[in-house]
């Protein structure tokens, strides 16, 4: 009995031990489950926090991005839109969701069809596309163009459930592209017209030169041919000058001169040039300056550019005025003080006139009033653009009034300082033409042989002695090897190999000899811009002549320096 009870106790103890161990294991497992649950909850909270942060970031980006972002369901109803979309239509999110584009902006049937086709392409093809679409905003009252990226959003079955759209406003870009295209076309047209304009005088120069060569036994015929060559050369030079002027103006490097001049001299020169053109077309031209009361105004400004503007405007009038037409240049005094005079210049004609639309393009570079002008009347389309820019550089502007088939009037005002005692009046041109420079010596520095030949021929009648140098280094050596005061003047080309004219002038000025600082040095350049003149003066030169060399101007300059003894030539002589 005792044994049986002992066995039972042992069994019970074993069972209790097993139960205890299982309870402890269950407790341990429960603790592990609790720990896992806590870990899972912590991980869930962390991931939820990350999702909330990501959602907030997405919402911030979605709301703040300037592009219009929106999603549409398969029936084109808006599901979600960003802040930029709301602002474009001036509607809240709730006012947009559930609506279609037709309810928001009332697109034209053509635009609505465009939207529908692009949406179907995304939905049916399950592809991302980029299209340009116009979207009208009733709030802004205008249609703007957008580059729209349309992206299909798929469900778990890989079927399209909605379309995400990102629309970027490209209106300004399209406008800029249109302007650039228009400018490119205008320049293309200009180059085409320019090619024709250049070939015309070149053809005359080449043809008449051959005729002259074959007519040496007929002096009268040869002389007429040479006259035609000179006219064609002047026209070609005018074309090239227009292009160079416009290039300088567009680059912001054009400078206006400030020098004394006689207004009557300018008007006389302009009248001489325009009268010749008017005689060819039987046009009546006159200058009305009654309001000047016969006063001979001595002013300070850019004589060359004022003359250029007047000739451009009058030449334009001649071009568009028919036979027996009338052109008048009005010069009126609008006001004056002891130091300045305000003048109004007006060029009026009774020619073909212009429409309002034609006047919009009138002052654009490389353009004319319309695309047919160049073919009918010729020209490069630069004259008026240059003229307006020149007048703006002088502190004013050109205005135009015109009526189709009735005529056109261009006007501009200028306020110019009165010139002091330094104004040159009544220059003795006759004396300058008949120069006798026997005993004078000129150092001619020019690397191009034909240019040396031309200048030598220009000066041959004056009996001046000419010593030639082929580059700046050669000139420096010849001047340095010459006796004191051997040379009376130096003509210095500026662009030469070995040593250019600027370096040569500085080298001569720096020599340790009595005449180095005082010998007049005149720059010869292919440009007549104030910037080039200033560079020559900065290098120590006294004056400037531009190529092609003008016979009369060179003679006048030589008269002033070598006959009258005027050595200070810090002004342009063109």
Q: How far apart are CA 302 and CA 398, in angstroms?
A: 17
pLDDT of res. 379: 56
Q: Is the peptide bond before 548 cis (omega within 30 degrees of 0)?
A: yes
Q: How far apart are CA 378 and CA 197, in angstroms?
A: 7
H or E element in which residue 327 lies: strand 326-336
pLDDT of res. 525: 85
Of 309, 538, 277, the C-alpha closest to 410 is 309
Say which residue the tokens 């074993």 belong to: 14
pLDDT above 50 (res 377) = no
Q: pLDDT band for 528, please (50, 70, 90 cuts).
A: low
Q: How far apart are CA 389 and CA 309, in angstroms?
A: 10
Of 102, 103, 98, the C-alpha closest to 77 is 98
Q: Are 476 and 504 in contact (CB under 8 A)?
A: yes
3 state SS of 540: coil
pLDDT above 70 (res 356) = yes
Tens digits of residue pLDDT in 464-518: 999 999 999 999 999 999 999 999 999 999 999 999 999 999 999 999 999 999 9
Tens digits of residue pLDDT in 67-92: 999 999 999 999 999 999 999 999 99
DSSP 451: H
Of the listed ranges 12-26, 362-376, 412-426, the least confidently predicted one is: 362-376
3 state SS of 296: coil
H or E element in which residue 69 lies: strand 68-72
Q: Could you tell me the pTM of the whole model?
A: 0.57
Across 531-547, average pLDDT: 87
pLDDT of res. 563: 82
pLDDT above 50 (res 175) = yes
**Cβ neighbours of residue 363 under 8 Å, at least 6 residues apart?**
384, 385, 388, 398
pLDDT of res. 380: 61
pLDDT above 70 (res 381) = no
Give the residue, 401 or 378, on which the prediction is more confident: 401
Of 404, 399, 317, the C-alpha closest to 352 is 404
pLDDT above 50 (res 1) = yes
Cβ neighbourhood burial of 154 (10 Å; 0-12, 13-18, 19+): exposed
DSSP letters of 117-176?
A: HHHHHHHHHT--EEEEEEEEETTTTEEEEEEEEEEEEE-TTS-EEEEEEEEEE-HHHHHH
pLDDT of res. 288: 95
Q: How far apart are CA 307 and CA 292, in angstroms?
A: 18
pLDDT above 90 (res 349) = yes
pLDDT above 70 (res 362) = yes
pLDDT above 70 (res 396) = yes
**Cβ neighbours of residue 83 under 8 Å, at least 6 residues apart?**
62, 63, 64
Q: pLDDT band for 433, please (50, 70, 90 cuts).
A: low
Give the residue, 224 or 309, on which the prediction is more confident: 309
Neighbours of 52 (CB within 10 A): 10
H or E element in which residue 209 lies: helix 171-214
DSSP 560: I
- Give the orientation angle of helix 501-509 with respect to helix 472-481, to 10 degrees: 20
Of 65, 114, 111, 103, the C-alpha closest to 85 is 65
Tens digits of residue pLDDT in 191-228: 776 777 788 788 888 988 999 988 888 989 889 888 88
pLDDT above 60 (res 376) = no
Q: How far apart are CA 155 and CA 491, in angstroms?
A: 86
Q: How far apart are the first and last CA of the chain?
A: 149
pLDDT above 90 (res 348) = yes
pLDDT of res. 244: 81
pLDDT of res. 431: 45
Of 100, 96, 94, 95, the C-alpha closest to 75 is 100
Across 99-119, average pLDDT: 89
pLDDT above 50 (res 569) = no
pLDDT above 80 (res 54) = no
Cβ neighbourhood burial of 216 (10 Å; 0-12, 13-18, 19+): exposed
Q: pLDDT band for 432, please (50, 70, 90 cuts).
A: very low
pLDDT above 60 (res 426) = no
Give the residue, 333 or 190, on which the prediction is more confident: 333
3 state SS of 544: strand
pLDDT above 50 (res 570) = no
Cβ neighbourhood burial of 298 (10 Å; 0-12, 13-18, 19+): buried
Of the listed ranges 52-56, 150-154, 215-219, 467-471, the least confidently predicted one is: 52-56
Q: State residue 76 phi and psi, 5-degree precision.
A: 70, 20
Q: Are 559 and 435 in contact (CB under 8 A)?
A: yes
């Amino acid at each position: 009995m005792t044994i049986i009870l002992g066995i039972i106790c042992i069994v019970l103890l074993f069972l209790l031990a097993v139960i205890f161990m299982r309870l402890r294991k269950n407790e341990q497992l429960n603790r592990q489950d609790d720990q896992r649950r806590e870990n899972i909850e912590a991980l869930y909270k962390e991931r939820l926090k990350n999702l909330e942060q990501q959602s907030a970031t997405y919402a911030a980006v979605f709301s703040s991005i300037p592009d219009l972002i929106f999603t549409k369901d398969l029936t084109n109803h808006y599901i979600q839109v960003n802040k930029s979309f709301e602002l474009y239509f001036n509607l809240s999110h709730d006012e947009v969701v559930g609506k279609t584009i037709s309810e928001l902006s009332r697109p034209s049937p053509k635009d609505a069809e465009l939207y529908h086709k692009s949406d179907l392409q995304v939905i049916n093809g399950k592809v991302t596309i980029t299209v340009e679409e116009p979207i009208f905003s009733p709030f802004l009252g205008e249609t703007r163009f957008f580059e729209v990226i349309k992206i299909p959003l798929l469900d778990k079955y890989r079927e399209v459930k909605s379309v995400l759209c990102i629309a970027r406003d490209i209106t300004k870009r399209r406008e800029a592209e249109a302007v650039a295209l228009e400018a490119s076309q205008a320049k293309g047209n200009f180059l085409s017209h320019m090619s024709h304009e250049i070939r015309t005088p070149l053809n005359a120069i080449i043809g008449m030169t051959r005729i002259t060569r074959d007519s040496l036994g007929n002096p009268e015929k040869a002389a007429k041919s040479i006259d035609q060559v000179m006219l064609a050369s002047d026209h070609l030079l005018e074309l090239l000058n227009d292009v160079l002027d416009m290039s300088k103006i567009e680059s912001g490097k054009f400078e206006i001169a400030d020098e004394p001049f006689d207004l009557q001299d300018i008007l006389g020169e302009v009248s001489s040039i325009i009268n010749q053109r008017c005689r060819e077309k039987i046009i009546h031209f006159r200058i009305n300056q009654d309001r000047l009361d016969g006063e001979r105004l001595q002013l300070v400004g850019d004589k060359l550019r004022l003359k250029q503007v007047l000739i451009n405007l009058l030449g334009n009038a001649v071009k568009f005025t028919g036979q027996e037409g009338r052109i008048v240049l009005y010069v009126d005094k609008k006001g004056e003080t002891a130091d300045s005079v305000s003048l109004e210049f007006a060029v009026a004609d009774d020619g073909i006139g212009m429409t309002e639309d034609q006047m919009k393009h009138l002052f654009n570079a490389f353009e004319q009033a319309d695309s047919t002008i160049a073919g009918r009347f010729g020209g490069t389309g630069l004259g008026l653009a240059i003229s307006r820019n020149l007048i703006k550089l002088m502190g004013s502007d050109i205005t135009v009034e015109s009526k189709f088939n009735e005529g056109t009037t261009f006007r501009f005002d200028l306020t110019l300082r009165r010139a002091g005692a330094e104004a040159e009046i009544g220059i003795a041109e006759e004396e300058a033409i008949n120069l006798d420079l026997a005993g004078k010596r000129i150092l001619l520095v020019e690397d191009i042989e034909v240019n040396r030949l031309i200048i030598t021929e220009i000066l041959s009648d004056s009996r001046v002695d000419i010593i030639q140098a082929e580059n700046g280094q050669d000139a420096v050596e010849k001047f340095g090897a010459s006796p004191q005061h051997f040379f009376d003047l130096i003509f210095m080309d500026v662009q030469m190999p070995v040593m250019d004219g600027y370096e040569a002038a500085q080298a001569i000025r720096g020599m340790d000899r009595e005449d180095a600082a005082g010998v007049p040095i005149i720059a010869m350049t292919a440009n007549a811009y104030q910037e080039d003149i200033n560079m020559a003066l900065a290098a120590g030169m006294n004056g400037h002549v531009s190529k092609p060399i003008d016979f009369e101007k060179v003679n006048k300059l030589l008269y002033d320096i070598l006959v009258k003894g005027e050595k200070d030539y810090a002004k342009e002589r063109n």
